Chain A
Amino acid sequence: MATPVIETRNIQKSFGDNKVLKGISMKVMPKEVIAIIGASGSGKSTFLRCMNRLNEPDGGDILFEGHSIMGKDIDIDLVRSQMTMVFQSFNLFMHLSAKRNISLPLRQVKKLKKEEADRLAMEALDKVGLTDKADAYPGEMSGGQQQRVAIARAFAMHPKVLLFDEPTSALDPQLIGEVLEVMKKLADMGMTMVVVTHEISFARDVADHVIFIDQGLILEEGPPKEMLINPKNERTRQFLKRVLQEENLPPLPQ
C-alpha cells in the first residue's frame, strides 16, 4: 500500500483549559480529497492547522510522507512548502499584485529566478482563469477572485497536498461557485486535498472521504455517499439536517 501523504496519530490540542482536540487519527492518501465537516467550534480549523504545525499540537504525532514532522531537527518551512494552505479570509499579501503574491514564495522558498517565478505565477493564474488580474492588487479584486489567486499561490508551489480551511465561508453566495469550480478542477487533476468545509454538496460531489468532527473527536467518517446520505450517528444526522436547512438545500437524495 502507498504511504499516506499525511497521517495524524492521536492529535491533541488545548487552548488553556479548553481541550479542543481530544485525539484525532486519520490518513490522507495520495490523490485523495478529504472533506472535514462539523459544527462551529468543534476544532476543524485547529486540527487542519496542526497538520502543518501552524498550531503546535500538545500530543500525538504527525507523519508527512511517512516521516514524523514533530521532531526538533525537522525543517518545518520545507514541510510547509509541500503542504500549502488556503485560508477562509484569503490572506493575500495586500501590498503585492496577484502575480507577485504567487511569485514571492516561489522566489523566497524555492529560490527560483524572477523570470522563472513569474512564468510559473502566470501559469498558475491561467489555471484559475485570472491572467487578466496579474497586476491587480488584492484590494482591487472581488472576494472570489482573491480566493482564486490564493489557491493559485498555494498550488504554484507544487505541494504534495493542499489544505483548505473553509475557503468559501467568507464569500458572497454568488461568488462561491467560481471558487468551488477551481477546487473541483484541482481534484480532477489528481491533487491531494484536505478541505474543511460547510459546503455539503461539494463534499458529496468531490470528496473521496468525509470526516465529521464533533467536540474534538472524529465521530463518524466514510465515503460521502454513506456519510452524508445515510449517517449512522444521530449527531451527524442532526448536523447535516441543520446545515442543509441553513443552505436552503433539499435533503440529499437517498
Chain B
Amino acid sequence: MIIIVFIVMLEASVNAKYANVFLNATIETIKISIFSIAMGFAIGVVVGLGRISNNFLIKGISTVYVEILRGTPLIIQIFIIYFGTPQFGIQFDAFTAGTLALGLNSGAYQAEIIRGGIQSIPKGQMEAARSSGMSYLQAMRHVILPQGFRLIIPPITNEYVTVIKDSSLAYSIGAFEVTYWSLKIIAYDFQPFTTFLFAALIYFTLTFSTSTIMNMVERKFRIPGYMGAE
C-alpha cells in the first residue's frame, strides 16, 4: 500500500503538467469501459438465453455470434467497425467504434458466462417453479436468473477487468483514452518508462476498484446458508 502511494506521488510529480490530459483520458477510458460492459451485458443476457433456447434458429444464431466474436481478434473487430463500415456509408467516430466493438465482443464472453451460470442451477429449481404453475419466463425471471446472477459474479468480474484493459486497444483508431494520450505525451516529452508506468497505474486503479466493488456486490447478495456462504 505504502509503495503504491509512493509510486503515485512520484509519477504524479513527474507527470504533473499532464495531469489534466490524464484526467480527461481516464474519463474517456472509463466511459468506453462502462458503455461496452453495459452493452455487453445486455447482449450477454439475450445471447446467453438464446444459447440454451429450444428454438434451433435462435440457438443457431446465438452460437454463431459467440463463436465468431470469440474466435477473431478484437483489434480486427475494432478495425472492421471503424475502417470497414465507411464502405457502406457509415462512419463512426473513434469513441463510438471502439465502444461498439468492445461491447459486441464482450457480449459474446458475457453470454457464455451467463449461459454457464444458468446451466449450473440444478434442474430441480426449474421443475419446482414449473410444477407450481409458473411459466418458463416467470421461472427464468424469478427463480433461475436471480440465482444464476449470484453465481456469475466472480467470472463476470474477470470479464469486466478484461474489458477495461482491452479498452486500451481503442488507441489504435485514435480514441482519446489513456493509452492514446500516453503515446502522445511520450512523443512530446520523451519519458516512456514513467509515462507508461503511470498509465499502468491508472488501469490498475480502475481494475482494482472494479474487482473490489464486485466483491462487495457478491457479499451483499450472498444467499444465507448456500454456496459457501455463512
Contact = CB atoms under 8 A, between A and B. Distances in A.
A91 B121 CA distance: 11
A116 to B, nearest CB: 17
Contacts of A136: 224
A105 B224 contact: no
Interface stretch (A10-18, A61-69, A92-100, A200-208): A92-100
A157 interface: yes
A95 B147 contact: yes
A95 B127 contact: no
A91 B127 contact: yes
Contacts of B225: 137-141
B162 interface: no
Interface string B210-229: 00000000000001111101
**Residue in A54, A95, A140, A150 with the greatest tally of chain B CB atoms within 10 Å:** A95
Contacts of A6: none
Contact of B224 (A52, A104, A137): A137
Of B127, B131, B134, which is in contact with the most chain A CB atoms at under 10 Å from its CB?
A: B131
A105 to B, nearest CB: 4
B131 A54 contact: yes
A153 interface: yes
Interface in A123-173: 136-141, 150, 153-154, 157, 163
A109 B132 CA distance: 8
A234 interface: no
Interface string B119-157: 000101101111111110010001100110010000000
A139 to B, nearest CB: 2
Q: Which 8 A-B pairs have the closest CB atoms?
A: A139-B225, A81-B133, A91-B128, A91-B124, A105-B132, A139-B226, A140-B225, A109-B133
Interface residues of B, number: 24
Contacts of B134: 77, 104-105, 108-109
B130 A87 contact: no
A60 to B, nearest CB: 20
A229 to B, nearest CB: 34
A54 B132 contact: no
Given A54-B131, A87-B128, A105-B134, 18 more contacts: A52-B131, A54-B127, A77-B130, A77-B135, A80-B130, A80-B131, A80-B132, A82-B133, A85-B131, A89-B124, A92-B128, A93-B128, A93-B147, A95-B146, A95-B147, A95-B226, A137-B224, A154-B132
Interface residues of A, number: 31
A153 B135 CA distance: 17
B226 A78 contact: no
A164 to B, nearest CB: 12
A14 B3 CA distance: 67
B229 A139 contact: yes
A93 B132 CA distance: 12
Given A89-B124, A91-B125, A95-B146, A137 B226 contact: yes
B154 to A, nearest CB: 17
Contacts of B124: 87, 89, 91
Given A140-B224, A140-B225, A93 B125 contact: yes
A236 interface: no
A8 interface: no
Nearest to A78: B133
B226 A81 contact: no
A50 to B, nearest CB: 12
A94 B133 contact: no
Contacts of A84: 131-133
Interface string A242-254: 0000000000000
8 contacts: A84-B133, A85-B127, A87-B127, A108-B134, A137-B226, A138-B225, A157-B132, A157-B133
A52 B130 CA distance: 10
Contacts of A52: 131
B120 to A, nearest CB: 12
A105 B133 contact: yes
Contacts of A153: 132
